[in-house]
Copies of this chain bind each other. A is one copy, B any other.
Amino acid sequence: MQVLALGSGAGGGFPQWNCACRNCSALRAGTFRGKPRTQAQLAVCADGNAWFLLGASPDLRAQIEAVPQLQPSKGQLRQSPVTGVLLASAEVDHVLGLLSLRELQPLEVYSTPSIRRILREDNSIFRMLNRVPGQVQWVDIVPGQHFWLQSGSEQSLRCQAVSLVSKFPAYVPEPKLPELAAQEALLGLILDAPPGKRLGYFPAVPEVDENLLNILDSTDLLFFDGTFWSDDELIRVLGQGQTARQMGHIPVSGPYGSLERLASLQRPRKIFLHINNTNPMLDEAGEEYRALRAAGWEIAEDGWQFQL
């Protein structure tokens, strides 16, 4: 399985348009030891042919144009190696890029029924994906059950969605919530490829219990929520706001943070992704970066490629 990290930042990317924090200011000034990052986006391929997107970031247009593997190559006038999109939530930074795939291309979108209903029932703009017959096929998935990403009539990648305890996005109106299933709000994604290799994609994780630890330790390559370094990061930087945990993100550092909670993992190569612009670990000259490297972690950069 080929894996492309097309984007590695949290919502808003790095730098963020209206932010002048230490990281964003230094990056714009050219004095930052670290990379700019578009919003989190993975793409995977099992057969060298059909590619699947994990999420659809707002930066998707530029992310596709950055890698030849995702560009038309078969001599047809309208064609794309992008065959399907697998959604882990209905958050803006995870779904908006679907609308950058609106040009009448056949495509499968895999999501829970609740995520599909939020997009299709309450957002007429997503009707752009279903203007003509044979455009987007919406495929329901059930957390906990195996399913296959399909390339035409071929089974391409075997998947499982792990339900994480979380809330629906802030934009979902209160009266809609009783129609939705809480276990369908936020997923971690497990993808299996021959010969027995496993990818884990967990860009947003509110907390880690023993069951989730076991699942994470069954992967070979793990992309994990690196949104915030500390629980009070936004409050410290901005003087106001919510804690990381209130926003549904386990912080990297501190008691019960991901460095501590995932220290026992044996199997996976561990990579943080979905990193907020305020996170001090973006600074490769800083102690936070040194600490996570010493703990055996890496931080994803836009453009990284992996072979599993």
- Which A residues have a C-beta under 8 Å from some C-beta of B? 11-13, 15-21, 24-25, 28, 36, 38, 58-62, 64-65, 68, 70-80, 82, 92, 96, 99-103, 105, 118, 122-128, 131, 170-173, 176, 237-239
Known A-B contacts A118-B124, A123-B125, A125-B171; the reply to A17 vs B92 at CB < 8 A is no
| Contact A127–B59 (Cβ < 8 Å) | no
19 extra A-B contacts, CB within 8 A, seeds A16-B103, A92-B102: A13-B61, A17-B60, A17-B65, A17-B82, A17-B100, A19-B72, A19-B77, A19-B78, A20-B77, A20-B78, A21-B77, A25-B72, A58-B99, A78-B238, A123-B123, A123-B125, A124-B172, A124-B173, A127-B173
Chain B residue with the shortest CB-CB distance to A237: B77
| Contact B20–A100 (Cβ < 8 Å) | no
Distance (Å) between the CB of A32 and the closest chain B CB? 14
A99 contacts which of B15, B59, B92 (Cβ < 8 Å)?
B92
Distance (Å) between the CB of A37 and the closest chain B CB? 11
Residues of chain B lying within 8 A (CB to CB) of residue A62: 59, 62
Cα distance, A126 to B124, chains bound together (Å): 11
